[in-house]
Amino acid sequence: MMPAGFRASGVAAGIKPEGALDVGLIVADEPVAWAGTFTRNAAAAACVGWCRGALGTPVRAVIVNSGNANACTGTAGEAAVRRTAEAVAIEMGCSPAQVLVASTGTIGIPLPVAKLVDSVPAAAGALSDDPEAFAHSIMTTDSAIKTSSAHAGEAIVFGVAKGAAMLAPNMATMLAFLTTDAAVASDLQDVLDDAVRVSFDRICVDACESTNDSVFLLSSGVVPAEHDELARAVMEVCRDLAKQMVRDAEGGSKLVRIQVTGATTDGDAVTLGRAIAASSLWRAAAGGGDPNWGRVLAAMGAVDRALPVGQVTLAIGPETLFDRGEPCGSIEAARKAMDADEFVVSCAVGTGPGAAEVLSCDLTTDYVTLNAGGTT
| Residue with smaller CB distance to its own copies, 9 or 320 | 320
Residues of this chain, 141-180, that bind its own copies according to CB under 8 A: 170-172
Q: Confirm if 12 and 127 have CB atoms less than 8 A apart.
A: no
CA distance 11 to 20: 8
CA distance 232 to 238: 10
The catalytic residue among 173, 180, 271, 364 is 173
207 near its own copies, judged by CB under 8 A: yes
Please give the sequence-ordered ranges of beta strands (E in DSSP) within the chain, or none if there are none: 6-11, 23-38, 59-66, 99-104, 146-152, 155-162, 175-183, 203-204, 214-224, 255-263, 313-316, 319-323, 326-327, 342-348, 354-361
Out of 107, 255, 358, 361, the residue judged to bind its own copies by CB under 8 A: 107
Rg (CA), the chain: 21
CB of 72 to its own copies, least distance (A): 5
CB neighbours of residue 329 within 10 Å: 18
Sketch the per residue contact string, 267 through 296, with its own copies: x for CB under 8 A, - otherwise. Answer: -----------xxxx--xx-xxxxxxxxx-
| Residue with smaller CB distance to its own copies, 205 or 218 | 205
Burial class (CB in 10 A: 0-12, 13-18, 19+), 314: buried
Out of 65, 137, 210, 219, the residue judged to bind its own copies by CB under 8 A: 210
> Which residues contact residue 326 at a Cβ distance below 8 angstroms, ignoring those fewer than 6 apart?
none
CB of 308 to its own copies, least distance (A): 8
CB of 260 to its own copies, least distance (A): 14
Q: Confirm if 35 and 217 have CB atoms less than 8 A apart.
A: yes
CB of 10 to its own copies, least distance (A): 25
Strands 99-104 and 6-11, by their bridges, are unpaired
Please say if 104 is a catalytic residue.
no
Candidates 14-22, 41-49, 185-193, 260-268; binding stretch for its own copies (CB under 8 A)? 41-49
Candidates 58-66, 91-99, 207-215, 230-238; binding stretch for its own copies (CB under 8 A)? 207-215
Cα–Cα separations (whole angstroms), residue 253 to 40, 312, 341: 28, 28, 7
CA distance 245 to 174: 8
Out of 74, 121, 267, 353, the residue judged to bind its own copies by CB under 8 A: 74
Residues of this chain, 85-104, that bind its own copies according to CB under 8 A: none
208 near its own copies, judged by CB under 8 A: yes
CA distance 366 to 250: 8
| Residue with smaller CB distance to its own copies, 309 or 340 | 309
CB of 65 to its own copies, least distance (A): 16
Strands 6-11 and 23-38, by their bridges, are antiparallel
Residues of this chain, 303-342, that bind its own copies according to CB under 8 A: 304-309, 321-322, 325-327, 331-332
Three-class SS state of 330: coil
Out of 13, 71, 238, 276, the residue judged to bind its own copies by CB under 8 A: 71
Candidates 145-153, 154-162, 204-212, 236-244; binding stretch for its own copies (CB under 8 A)? 204-212
| Residue with smaller CB distance to its own copies, 18 or 326 | 326
Catalytic residues: 173
